[in-house]
Structure 1
Amino acid sequence: MSDHHTYGTSTHTADELARLVGDRLRLVFTERDSYYRGIYHLVGSPNRRIEIQTNLIPGDEGEDDLYAPEHPSAQVLLLTTTPIPDPALRACLDSLEGLIHLHHETV
């Protein structure tokens, strides 16, 4: 089982959000570059994965796409994956000003 959450913000840039979340959770994000997703920030461990990226991703032939087209107003996304629900992580992220919980899925 995996617990997935998607958050969005139009208040912070991806870099600002990575610093803010990293400071709050005492984590260090690494910047990654993906052909599909563009530049994103990642913290991964066996117990959780947190990714921060812009919603706008590079598309084919210079046409950009939205990673989460159902949330076009969210300029930056924060994606979490944990093996089981993590109420402490949710509470911390819910307390960040300008960060809005957009979606939850357990698979």
Structure 2
Amino acid sequence: MSHHDLHANHKAHTDHDHEHGEGCGHTAIKHLDHTDYEHDGHLHHKHDGHYDDCDTCQCENCSDECAKCTCTDCSCKTCNHNVCKCENCNDACASCECTNCSCETCEHAA
């Protein structure tokens, strides 16, 4: 599943005149296939020439931004911390490479 598919309902952050990157002065958080930057009380990342706000966790346990979610039983596909639940491994979903993965939160699972 691509970044675009996972973030199909992304919300563009408008009026952003600051270029984020190494040394920009904002906290960077690796999130799936991109880096979110904490800025003005929220997280966002560069995407197709603009900045998108970080998704909010969709599980019933919290309302954190996905890059910062710490739910222990999270089922949100865009949260950063999910661990593969298939019988083949226990890698983080963002880095799982099982060929027959059945985990609901892994990016590549069928």
Per the TM superposition, whether the score is higher than 0.5 is no
- Larger % of helix: which? 1
- Larger % of strand: which? 1
- TM-score normalized with structure 2 length: 0.27
- TM-score normalized with structure 1 length: 0.27
Which has the bigger relative contact order, CA under 8 A and spacing at least 6?
Answer: 1
For the pair shown, which has the larger CA radius of gyration, 1 or 2?
A: 2
